[in-house]
Each structure stands twice: as structure tokens, then as C-alpha cells.
Amino acid sequence: MKIVECIEIDKTYQQGKVKVHALRNISMNIEKGDFVALAGPSGSGKTTMLNIIGGLDSADSGKIIVDGNALSEMNQTQLANLRLHNIGFVFQAYNLIPVLSAAENVEYVMLLQGIPQAERRQRTKSILDEVGLAGKYDRRPAELSGGQQQRVAVARAIVSNPSIVLADEPTANLDSKTGKGLLDMMKKMNQEKKVTIIFSTHDRMVMNYAARLLRIRDGQLVDDQVKNN
């Protein structure tokens, strides 16, 4: 089943007088349960691609269908609802609300979704245990290491069973050992919970974790390979 369908996507940024062609004619599909790496050098258009799939940015032309919804036909409120209920985000850094504890950060999205408190508490606790943060529920982001913060962000992204999780260079700010730990955990979540994950990276080691590798260069999709590991 296709979770994401991109058809001939184009995106151009105006940078002063210069036009930057960030994405050129990109078409691809992502299947439910995929664990996909979007790989490419800096400036190749990875962030732009993820933002467009997540409904944070809009394409100039082409069509994106996420979980059956054609994004170009949706207004801001509908997009917000789609993000709230169907898409999980993990950013490179500053993922968490600093005044909330780890557990509260996870709980907060469910609060916005209108999930009752008892269920929120129970789900928060179990997801934090699964991502390896048992006993750190009440720590504020500032009291967690970079790797632990990213784990909280992943926990928050998957806690409400979204159709897809978009992670933009989730390991870029981590040392390689911590980054591997995070990726192991994400892969485990992908396999156990069947959650679809797309993450971007320019790191060869990180690419190796992916079940499928999409290579992008200068805004163009240059390679699409399925790996068996």
C-alpha cells in the first residue's frame, strides 16, 4: 500500500535575484512499513523534500498524496490536522519544548489530539520505556543528552501511530555511537510497530541502516535501491 506518492514535483526558491531549483521533477512512491533513507550532499534538497511531504511547504507543481490525501487541495487547517494525526516529525535539533519534561513532551501531542488522560499517561510511559528512557520521564530536555533528546522526539513522533514519520537528519548532531543507537532503536520501531519512516542523511554509515535508499543530487532523484539487510 502506498503511503506517499510523489508525481513530478518541482520546487524553486527565489534567493534575492537568483532562482534556486531545489527539486526537479521528482516522482516516487513509499510503501507502508518502509524504512527509507533520503541521501544526498548538503544543499541537494533533502529538507525541502521532507517539508513538502509533511505539508510544511508546498510544491510549485506536481502532486503529492499522503495517506490518501492530495496535499495541494488542502487548506492550512486541514494540513495542520493531517500533521497532527497522520505525520510524526523528528528534526535535527530543538525538537522538544524546553519547559516540559520528557513525558510531558510526548503527552502534549496526544493532548492536542484529544486523547484522554489515562490513555495518554499509559502510552507515554510504555513508549518511553521502548525507546530506552525508562526512569527518565520527569527530566527536562536540558537534563537529557543529545541522543536522549532525539529518542524523546522519536517517541513523540510515533506514540500516536502516525502513517509516516519524517526525520530530517536525526543523527546529524550526535556522535556516531549515539547515532547508531538511535538508528537501531528507530529500525526496531519500524519492524515491531510497522511504522513507516523516512529519514534524510548525508552520512554513509547512516544510509546503511535503510531498507531502501533514495539518492538525491541537485534536486534530482538519481538512484533508488532496495537493500536486503
Partner 1 sequence: MYLQLAWRNIWRNPRRTTVILLAIIIGVWSMIFENALMRGITVGMIKNSIATLTGHIQIHRRGYRSDPVIENSITEPEAVIAALKRILPPGTQWAARVRVNGIASNARHSSGVTLVGIDPASEAKVSFIGDAIAGGHQLQPDDPHAIVVGEALLDKFETKIGHKLVLMSQDTNQEIASKAFRIVGTFKAEMQSTEKQFVFITRKAAQQMLKLRQGLSEVSIVLPDQQESGVASRLKAILSPNGYEVNTWKELLPFLRAYLKLLDVFVYIWSLVIFIAMGFGIVNTTLMAVFERIREFGLMKALGMKPWWIVRQVLTESFLLLIIGIIMGNILAFLTVLALSDSGIDLSALAAGAEFAGMTRVIYPIVSIKDWSIANLLVMVLGLLICIYPAAKAAKFTPIEALAYT
Ligand X SMILES: Nc1ncnc2c1ncn2[C@@H]1O[C@H](COP(=O)(O)OP(=O)(O)OP(=O)(O)O)[C@@H](O)[C@H]1O
- Which residues contact partner 1 (rule: CB under 8 A)? 51, 54, 56-57, 76-77, 80-85, 87, 89, 91, 94-95, 97-100, 104, 107-109, 111-112
Q: How far apart are CA 136 and CA 103, in angstroms?
A: 8
Instruction: Give the nearer residue to partner 1 in terms of CB position, either 5 or 104.
Output: 104
Residues 34-53 that bind ligand X (CB under 6 A): 40, 42-48
Instruction: Give the nearer residue to Mg ion in terms of CB position, either 136 or 202.
Output: 202
Q: Is 47 in the site for Mg ion (CB under 5 A)?
A: yes
Burial of 20 (0-12, 13-18, 19+ CB in 10 A): middle
* 3-state DSSP assignment of residue 162: coil
- Selected from 2, 8, 13, 31, the binder of ligand X by CB under 6 A is 13
Minimum separation from the CB atom of position 16 to ligand X (A): 9
Minimum separation from the CB atom of position 183 to Mg ion (A): 18
Instruction: Give the nearer residue to partner 1 in terms of CB position, either 83 or 187.
Output: 83
Minimum separation from the CB atom of position 59 to partner 1 (A): 13
Minimum separation from the CB atom of position 40 to Mg ion (A): 9
Q: How far apart are CA 91 and CA 73, in angstroms?
A: 26
For CA atoms 12, 84, 28, 95, the dihedral sign is positive
Minimum separation from the CB atom of position 96 to partner 1 (A): 8
Cell numbers at 59, concatenated? 510544491
Q: How far apart are CA 128 and CA 131, in angstroms?
A: 5
Answer whether 196's CB lies under 8 Å from 32's CB. yes
Binding mask 150-169 for Mg ion (x = CB under 5 A): --------------------
Q: How far apart are CA 217 and CA 149, in angstroms?
A: 30
Which does residue 111 touch among ligand X, partner 1, Mg ion, none (CB within 5 to 8 A, set by kind)?
A: partner 1
CA angle 197, 202, 207 (to 5 degrees): 50
